[in-house]
Homo-oligomer: A and B are copies of this chain.
Amino acid sequence: MLRIGVIGAGRMSRIHLENIMRHVPDADVVAVADTRLRAAEEAADQFRIPRALSDHGEILNDPTIQAVVICSPSPTHPQIIRESALAAKHIFCEKPIGFDLKAIDLALAAVEKAGVKLQIGFNRRFDANFHRVWKMVDAGKVGTPHVLRITSRDPEPPSPDYVRTWGGVFLETSIHDFDMARYIMGSEAVEIYAAGGVLVHTDFAASGDLDTVVITIRFANGAIGTIDNSYQAVYGYDQRLEVFGDAGMMRIENNTTDTHIHADTSGIHSAQPLYFFIERYQASYLAEMKEFVTAIQKDTQPLVGGVDGRASIVMALAARKSYDEHRIVQLDEFD
C-alpha cells in the first residue's frame, strides 16, 4: 500500500483525494496539508484522512510517507518539488510545474539527484480522445504531420479566487495545449507567435491577462500548429484537436452529456459538450493517478515527467513574450 501525503486542499486536491481514496485500491492518503488549516481539515474529514496539517513539512518529515501529490498554488510548485525530492518522496505535481525557469531547473536537478519519480498533472494525455489521437498519429495513420490545430476554450473565466495566484492564460490554460502539441507532434517547438486580446471581460485587461489568444507554433520537424484559447465558450467546454499529415487527418470532437438528436420545425438539435474540466476529464484524473502509483510500484518512468513540465513552460513564456513584444519569438531565446 503506497502511503501518500497531499499538499494543498483546493479544487484539484479534492479530485485527487477522491480518486486515491475511492478508486486506487493500492494507495492511501495518510495526511493532507494546507496553509489554510481549515481547508485541510475539511478535506481530511470528507475523505477520512487521519491527519490534517497546516505545514507540509510534516509530510516531508514523515518517513512512512513515500509520495506526495502537490496541489498548492502554482508559484509554490518548484520549491515544494525540491523539498520533496530532498526528502526522497516520489512526486506528483499539478500543472504548471512553476512560473520561473530558474526555480524549475533547481527543482528538476533535485529530483534527478534524489532519483525519485516526478509526474506532472497533464491529465489530458490520459484522456481516451487525446490518447487515441496520439496512438494513431504515432502509428503513422496520418503519415508525417504537417499541421496541428487545437481548440481549447473554457466555458467560463477563472474565478476571482484563482486569479490571486493565477499565472495568466498562457501559463495556466494554454499550458495543457502546449504539452499536448509536443506530445502529439513528437517534435519540439522552435518558434512561437501569439496574438490575443481582452475580448470577453475588460476586467482581464486590468490584471494584465488576456482572455482570447491564438498561438502559432513552428516545430523542429517543419510542421506548424495553432492553438486557440478563450475564457468563455458559452456553449460549454470546447476541447478539440486535429492533426493533418501527408497520409490523412485525425480529429477529435467534444464529449457530450448524451447522444440525443432532436428534430423539430426549428432544426436539428443535439447535446452540449460536458460543462468543464471536472466533468470532461474525470476519467483522465483517475488514470493519471493510477499511472503515478504504478510508476512507483513498478519503478517505471511516468508518461509525463519534469522535462515535459519545463518544456511547456518555455512555450508559455515564449508566447507571453511574443504577445508583449509583438513579434515572433524563438524558443532558444530561453536557453
Contact = CB atoms under 8 A, between A and B. Distances in A.
Interface of A: 22-23, 128-129, 131-133, 136, 141-142, 144, 146-147, 149, 151, 153, 193, 195-197, 199-200, 212-214, 216, 218, 222-226, 228, 230, 232-236, 238, 242, 244, 246-272, 326-328
A265 B193 contact: no
Copies in the complex: 4
A132 B264 contact: no
A266 B235 CA distance: 7
A199 B144 contact: yes
Q: Which of A200, A222, A262, A326 is the most central at the interface, judged by chain B CB atoms within 10 Å of its CB?
A: A262
Contacts of A327: 327-328
A319 to B, nearest CB: 13
A142 to B, nearest CB: 8
Contacts of A258: 128-129, 131-132, 252
Given A129-B260, A147-B228, A196-B224, 5 more contacts: A147-B212, A199-B246, A234-B248, A235-B248, A267-B270
A204 B85 CA distance: 52
A278 to B, nearest CB: 16
B234 A224 contact: no
A257 B128 contact: yes
Given A193-B216, A228-B226, A328-B327, A260 B252 contact: yes
Contacts of A271: 132, 267-268
A318 to B, nearest CB: 15
Contacts of A226: 149, 214, 216, 226, 228
A248 B265 contact: yes
Nearest 3 interchain pairs by C-beta: A248-B264, A235-B263, A253-B259
A153 B22 CA distance: 33
Contacts of A199: 144, 146, 222-223, 246
A256 to B, nearest CB: 8
Given A199-B222, A224-B196, A246-B199, A268 B272 contact: yes
Pick from A129, A146, A230 the residue with the most CB of B within 10 Å.
Answer: A146
Given A199-B222, A258-B132, A267 B263 contact: no
A87 to B, nearest CB: 32
Contacts of A261: 250-253
Contacts of A270: 267-270
